[in-house]
Structure 1
Amino acid sequence: MAIVSDVLMNVKKRNLNEPEFLQAVQEVLESLEPVIEMHPEYKDAGILERMVEPERQVIFRVPWVDDKGIVRVNRGFRVQFNSAIGPYKGGIRFHPSVYIGIIKFLGFEQIFKNSLTGLPIGGGKGGSDFDPKGKSDGEVMRFCQSFMTELYKYVGADVDVPAGDIGVGAREVGYMYGQFKRITGSYEGVLTGKGLSFGGSLVRTEATGYGLVYFVNEMIKAKGYELKDKKVVVSGSGNVAIYAVQKLQEFNAKVIAMSDSNGYIYDEKGINIATIKKLKEVERKRISEYVKEHPHAEYHEGHRGIWNIKCDIALPSATQNEIDENSARQLALNGCFAVGEGSNMPSTPEAIKVFQTNNILFAPAKAANAGGVATSALEMSQNSMRMSWTFEEVDFKLQEIMKNIYKNCIKAANDYGFGDNLAVGANIAGFLKVADAMYKQGVV
């Protein structure tokens, strides 16, 4: 379709050397051709042209002093992509790989993910090339304070509400929130993922991992499967992976492998998640330490090898493009029947084609890992009402949100002739709500 190809061509010209962003845009736009054909008013209103251009991009210097008294300088980012259905909402990532293209890709994905939750939140993302690994608490605090000293100008409870992401957990959110409050004197829900003692929500820590499992469970139930006794491989060992494993074990699935950026562990008896939580959340050590406490387990260098393990279900929950075409083929050869994306865009386009060609059930990230931002929005609601809900209340709302996301994705795919293709269904369902809001608000 000419309009889609023209928009894509323009995006490629204007965003050179940003492959992650271009990949995300192309994947979404190509699935929207039948939608634009059925809604010519969106073409006339320039919806696609406006949707691929962020409303605002902020890049700033973050100076801080390390424990040796040496001045360090990092770069900070915030991309406020789309506010058609609510204030910008999206995490902050601290990782050496962060640059504007990564933040734009994540922010663009966030538009559709947030729309799918059914909650009034727009799309945004932020971060820095700062690496918290190996830094002392004091260094992390000084960096976070410097980061927020600039970021505070652009965020607020009704404007932009950041959360955590890779490298940004409860510690980092706490330091940033404290600095925001110090500068503004305002005690508001400007960040989510806060500590429970100052406005945080129960289940927020577990939400992305739990939501991933709830979504995958809905997907496989529709095809007559259940999680019980299934062998599962989960990449990563951060927040998403840990709580996905915890919830899988509650469903009596058997998780046999996890990884970090150095390598992966294989435990045929089933991963001891208590050991992983201790290593990663308390001691902040590498996953290789697991075999010291569980000598029957195996550790292998190189994280990609995890996809060679024979499993029923794979949940990539580490980082973008971690499953390439070869890894996908290996999963198919080993009998994997379902893949659920826990991290953002962990499967390359070629890998997704392999899944679809081999009839592997595929849960795309913008739907499957939406539980985190959904619970962040629930935290915003609690902050606005000055209330705290119980764990059971929030968990129930999360389960219902993930069930509704699945139903809406399937319905959108069916309505536009894509059968049960959840990847396309997620794009269309997320797009329709935002496009309708943009159209009715005029050219802004």
Structure 2
Amino acid sequence: MHELHPALQPHFETVLSRNPAEAEFHQAVLEVLGSLGPVVSKHPELLDMAVIERLCEPERQLIFRVPWTDDQGRVHINRAFRVEFNSALGPYKGGLRFHPSVNLGIVKFLGFEQIFKNALTGLPIGGGKGGSDFDPKGRSDREVMAFCQSFMTELYRHIGEYTDVPAGDIGVGGREIGYLFGQYKRITNRYESGVLTGKGIGWGGSLVRTEATGYGTVFFTQEMLAAAGQTLSGRRVVVSGSGNVAIYAAQKAADLGAHVVACSDSGGYIVDEAGLDLELLKQIKEVERGRLTDYAARRPGAKHVADGSVWDVPCEVALPCATQNELDGNHAKTLVANGVIAVAEGANMPSTPDAVRVFQENNILFAPGKAANAGGVATSALEMQQNASRDRWTADYTEERLRQIMVNLHNRCASAADEYGSPGNYVVGANISSFLQVSEAVVALGVI
């Protein structure tokens, strides 16, 4: 990451003063602005047009309460958010996160990242994000349904296939999307399939959407390695997390010849030197909603470690696929010492600024989340296309579309990094390429 250009410093200070106590949002803005020095030197007119201010200030921020009743008849009140950040390129597009950690600052950081991630896909989608501090873990299906129906009873008036199209994120999978869509359909009396993505295959969903974020991360990693004269085949891989993104990143890496040996959850991590049994992992995590301790108990030779970090496990390719700021500077130093050659973010901003600095100072190939994990939202946009045309594509066709999007996305990042004097720096390339595209649209649409 470059030092902040002097002309950008006042803009960042404005973000700090107008958005107090939103550390993740500050971090996301600084990460983008830190790459833009060469751009404002070449295009100072963008500062005169207040493009930075327009991109850092959401077009709309919604905060609402969600009342619901649990199985014992107790009433709960959760707080929910939808930040419709920027629609210069298309309808707001971004997931919903249900997790106790959700607050306005986290939703704004995710929405801000989403603007640039969505631009990188080359598809006509703007950026937004939402969620609630509701925790679906340990709740019955009826309780989750009650929450989702109450959540959508407020949200429905703000979304639509030409306005804002939510999807899933942490804590929001097929079950939650189903309840949300059912309530939207009930309230509106419209079968508007394109209003939510991540739907079930039998009712408007897209094949490969479940796998898309993890697959896309690995496709980007493959391209990044190939550009450096390396290959993924035969590489030892460690993945953090064990949810949707982590499982399918591990699967695609294994399909391409890598040896995936570890993953994690909130209770620790597992090491399976024989290679993760992905069918067993899917059964435990996706069907049984179990823990990695169950995997270790049922998989001969697998070891569960309750303390420490999954990044202590030696690997050549690291794929952080859990949550923000999970991989810090010390973890990065451990990875470098153990021989890592490439890191690609499957989650949103999982590496701290210190970690990114360590990787870049040691010439480790590093793919930021806004580039490497864009496959999920790209395939959501493909789902929207299928909904609009009342069509359904085959899995092979959809996966090939996804792969080509990730190849093009990689090439955009690499070209922008070359053009602006930072060859091989995918952070700079991703930020500059996406910023220029969104800025052009923001200016073209006038002061709105």
CA distance in 1, matches of 2:444, 2:403: 31
Q: Which sections of structure 1, spanning at least 5 residues, go unmatched?
A: none
Out of 260, 263, 266, the position equivalent to 1:255 is 260
**Cα shift at 1:73:** 0.7
Does 1:294 find its partner at 2:299? yes
- 2:371 paired residue number: 367
- 2:17 paired residue number: 13
- 1:98 paired residue number: 102
CA distance in 2, matches of 1:359, 1:35: 23
**Cα shift at 1:2:** 3.5
Instruction: Trace 1:432-443 onto structure 2 (pairs within 5 A).
Output: 432-443=436-447
- 1:408 paired residue number: 412
- 2:241 paired residue number: 236
Code of the aligned partner of 2:156: Y
Out of 324, 330, 334, the position equivalent to 1:330 is 334
- 1:41 paired residue number: 45
- 1:219 paired residue number: 224
Instruction: Trace 1:332-371 onto structure 2 (pairs within 5 A).
Output: 332-371=336-375
Out of 414, 423, 428, the position equivalent to 1:424 is 428
Q: How big is the alpha-carbon RMSD for the aligned residues of Structure 1 and Structure 2?
A: 0.7
Out of 270, 295, 298, the position equivalent to 1:265 is 270
Code of the aligned partner of 1:377: A
Q: How many residues align?
A: 443
CA distance in 1, matches of 2:232, 2:351: 22
**Cα shift at 1:229:** 1.3
Instruction: Trace 1:268-283 onto structure 2 (pairs within 5 A).
Output: 268-283=273-288
CA distance in 1, matches of 2:396, 2:387: 18
**Cα shift at 1:19:** 0.5
Give the match's secondary structure for 1:234: strand
- 1:134 paired residue number: 138
**Cα shift at 1:305:** 1.3
- 2:182 paired residue number: 178
CA distance in 2, matches of 1:2, 1:101: 25
- 1:146 paired residue number: 150
Code of the aligned partner of 1:147: F
- 2:58 paired residue number: 54
Greater shift after overlay, 287-296 or 242-251?
A: 287-296
Give the match's secondary structure for 1:362: strand
CA distance in 2, matches of 1:57, 1:18: 14
CA distance in 1, matches of 2:93, 2:328: 29
Code of the aligned partner of 1:356: Q
TM-score, normalization: structure 1? 0.99
Give the match's secondary structure for 1:54: coil
The structure 1 segments of at least 4 consecutive aligned residues displaced by more than 4 Å after TM superposition are none
Give the match's secondary structure for 2:391: coil
**Cα shift at 1:406:** 0.3
Code of the aligned partner of 1:11: V
TM-score, normalization: structure 2? 0.98
Per-residue CA deviations over 1:117-141 (Å, capped at 9, x if unaligned) read 0000000000000000000000000
Give the match's secondary structure for 1:149: helix
Does 1:190 find its partner at 2:205? no
**Cα shift at 1:249:** 1.0
**Cα shift at 1:34:** 1.2
Q: Which sections of structure 2, spanning at least 5 residues, go unmatched?
A: none
Give the match's secondary structure for 2:210: coil
CA distance in 2, matches of 1:3, 1:72: 47
Give the match's secondary structure for 2:209: coil
Give the match's secondary structure for 1:74: strand
**Cα shift at 1:38:** 1.2
- State percent identity of aligned pairs: 61
Code of the aligned partner of 2:237: V
Give the match's secondary structure for 1:80: strand
- 2:316 paired residue number: 312
**Cα shift at 1:187:** 1.1
